[in-house]
Amino acid sequence: MNPFVYNAPAMRVVFGAGSVAELAKEVDRLGAKRALLLATPGRTAMVKSVADPLGIRVAGVFDRVVMHTPLQLAEEARRLAASVQADCCVVVGGGSTIGFGKAIALTSALPLLAVPTTYSGSEMTTIWGISEGGAKKTGRDPKVLPKTVIYDPALTLDLPPHVSAASGMNAMAHCVEALYAHDGNPIVSMMAEEGIRALACALPRVMENPKDIDARSDALYGAWLAGCTISTTSIALHHKLCHVLGGSFNLPHAETHSIVLPHAVRYNESAAEAMRRIERALGKRDAAAAIYDLEKKLRLPLRLADIGMKEQDLERAARIAADAPYPNPRKVEYAPVLELLRHAYEGVRP
Ligand X SMILES: NC(=O)c1ccc[n+]([C@@H]2O[C@H](COP(=O)([O-])OP(=O)(O)OC[C@H]3O[C@@H](n4cnc5c(N)ncnc54)[C@H](O)[C@@H]3O)[C@@H](O)[C@H]2O)c1
Closest distance to ligand X from the beta carbon of 60 (Å): 19
Q: Smallest distance from the beta carbon of 77 to ligand X, in angstroms?
A: 14
- Would you say 222 and 216 are in contact if contact means Cβ atoms under 8 Å apart? no
Please give the Cα distance from 70 to 339 (Å, whole number). Answer: 30
User: Is 342:312 a contact under the CB 8 Å cutoff?
Assistant: no
- Whose CA is closest to 270, among 340, 154, 180? 180
Q: How far is the CB of 102 from ligand X (least distance, A)?
A: 7
d(CA 170, CA 96): 13
Q: Closer CB to ligand X, residue 19 or residue 122?
A: 122
Residue with Cβ nearer ligand X (129 or 275): 129
Instruction: For ligand X, give the closer residue by CB, 125 or 233.
Output: 125
Query: How many angstroms from the chain centroid is the CA of residue 117?
Result: 11
Residue closer to ligand X, measured from CB, 104 or 275: 104
Nearer of residues 109 and 348 to ligand X, judged by Cβ: 109
30: phi then psi, degrees, rounded to nearest 5: -80, -10
DSSP 92: E
**Cβ-based nearer residue to ligand X, 14 or 172:** 172
Which is closer to ligand X, CB of 43 or CB of 78? 43
| 158 vs 333 by CB, closer to ligand X | 158
Amino acid identity of residue 7, one-letter, is N
Nearest residue to the partner ligand X, using Cβ: 95
Shortest separation between residue 171's beta carbon and ligand X, angstroms: 8
Torsion sign across C-alpha atoms 161, 165, 170, 171? positive
Distance CA 70, CA 82 (A): 19
| 265-268 contacts at long range (C-beta below 8 A, 24 or more positions apart) | 265/176, 265/238, 265/291, 265/350, 266/340, 266/343, 266/350, 267/237, 267/330, 267/336, 267/337, 267/340, 268/180, 268/236, 268/237, 268/238, 268/328, 268/329, 268/330
Tell me the HSE value of 30 on the side-chain side, using a 13 A CA sphere. Answer: 26
Q: How far is the CB of 230 from ligand X (least distance, A)?
A: 6
User: Is the CB of 89 or the CB of 275 nearer to ligand X?
Assistant: 89
C-alpha distances out from residue 94 to 170, 310, 332, 345, Å: 12, 27, 30, 26
**Closest approach of ligand X to the CB of residue 286, in Å:** 26
CB of 276 to ligand X, least distance (A): 26
Shortest distance (Å) from residue 170 CB to ligand X = 6
Q: Which helix (H) or strand (E) holds 23?
A: helix 23-29
Q: How many CB atoms lie within 10 A of CB 126?
A: 18
The binding site for ligand X (CB under 6 A) comprises 40, 42-43, 67-68, 93-97, 99, 117-118, 120-122, 125, 127, 129, 155-156, 158-159, 163, 167, 170, 253-254
C-beta of 300: minimal distance to ligand X in Å? 13
